């Protein structure tokens, strides 16, 4: 009987250690995959979908250089981005050694089975409070992330991969965030009408925002001059 209990305890503990190792392993493997990319530039079509903003599709160029340099560049035109948001960078998050990694189980994201990994930066000055990654274990791809920041609220990112999934580079990313309701004095707008229907008014009070990036023309590991950043 005693032997049976010890066996069960040993098996459970081993299992626990195996799982714990799995999560760290998983993160390491994802990091290794990401390390294949030293730098990239990519063109993206940016669709800003905020309830109370009517914006056209914009064209941007994004530059990345290891370890943490990222720049979104719109040659011409106005870009609307959540504050502190889009330049969130998994490299920075994952390469932070002062990090607590917690396995939070599994779930399905867009039909793909993923492992939920919570990352807690241990530094009290870190901008990120917590970041939850939904990792596709089979392909070592981050399918989704949910991040809460100190200054700029929370946001979610959903990644969709295509040809460059071997480099961990998505073909599409959807960035979701919250927006505060805003009010503007009428004197500034000098608008006369306030004849929107109730449905329209309600629609405009929706506090969710979304930016969808559709990437194309990746140029990987060809070097990016520092002056871009």
- Contact residues toward another protein (CB under 8 A) are 47-57, 74, 76-85, 153, 177-186, 188-194, 196, 200-201, 204, 209
Min dist. Cβ of residue 144 to another protein (A): 20
Query: Judged by CB, which is closer to another protein: 98, or 197?
Result: 197
Q: Which is nearer to another protein, 57 or 102 (CB)?
A: 57
144 with 131: CB under 8 angstroms? no
Cβ 13 to another protein shortest distance, Å: 47
Task: Compute, in degrees rounded to 10, the torsion defined by CA atoms 93, 96, 97, 103.
Answer: -10
Smaller CB distance to another protein: residue 56 or 223? Answer: 56
Order of strands across the sheet that contains 69-73: 69-73, 58-65, 39-50, 208-220, 170-178, 154-161, 141-149, 128-136, 112-121, 99-109
Angle formed at CA 50 by CA 128 and CA 57, multiple of 5 degrees:
105
Cβ neighbours of 184 (radius 10 Å): 8
- The nearer residue to another protein, 1 or 190, going by C-beta atoms, is 190
In the complex, what is the shortest distance from the CB of residue 76 to another protein, in angstroms, rounded to a whole number? 6
Report, in Å, the least distance between residue 155 CB and another protein.
11
């Amino acid at each position: 009987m005693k032997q049976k209990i010890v066996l069960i305890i040993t098996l459970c503990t081993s299992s626990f250690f195996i799982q714990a190792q799995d999560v760290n392993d998983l993160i390491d493997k994802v990091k290794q995959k990401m390390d294949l990319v030293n730098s990239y530039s990519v063109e993206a079509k940016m669709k800003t979908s905020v309830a109370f903003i009517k914006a056209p599709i914009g064209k941007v160029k994004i530059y990345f250089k290891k370890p943490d340099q990222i720049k979104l560049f719109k040659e011409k035109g106005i870009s609307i981005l959540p504050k502190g948001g889009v330049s969130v960078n998994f490299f920075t998050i994952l390469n932070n050694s002062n990090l607590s990694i917690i396995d939070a189980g599994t779930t399905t994201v867009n039909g793909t089975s993923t492992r939920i990994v919570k990352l807690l930066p241990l530094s009290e000055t870190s901008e990120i409070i917590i970041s939850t990654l939904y990792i596709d274990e089979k392909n070592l791809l981050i399918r989704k992330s949910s991040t809460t920041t100190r200054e700029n609220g929370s946001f979610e990112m959903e990644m969709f991969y295509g040809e460059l999934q071997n480099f961990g580079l998505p073909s599409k990313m959807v960035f979701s965030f919250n927006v505060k309701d805003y009010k503007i004095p009428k004197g500034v707008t000098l608008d006369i009408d306030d004849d929107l229907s109730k449905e329209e008014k309600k629609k405009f009070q929706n506090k969710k925002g979304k930016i969808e990036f559709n990437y194309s023309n990746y140029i990987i590991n060809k070097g990016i001059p520092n002056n871009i950043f």
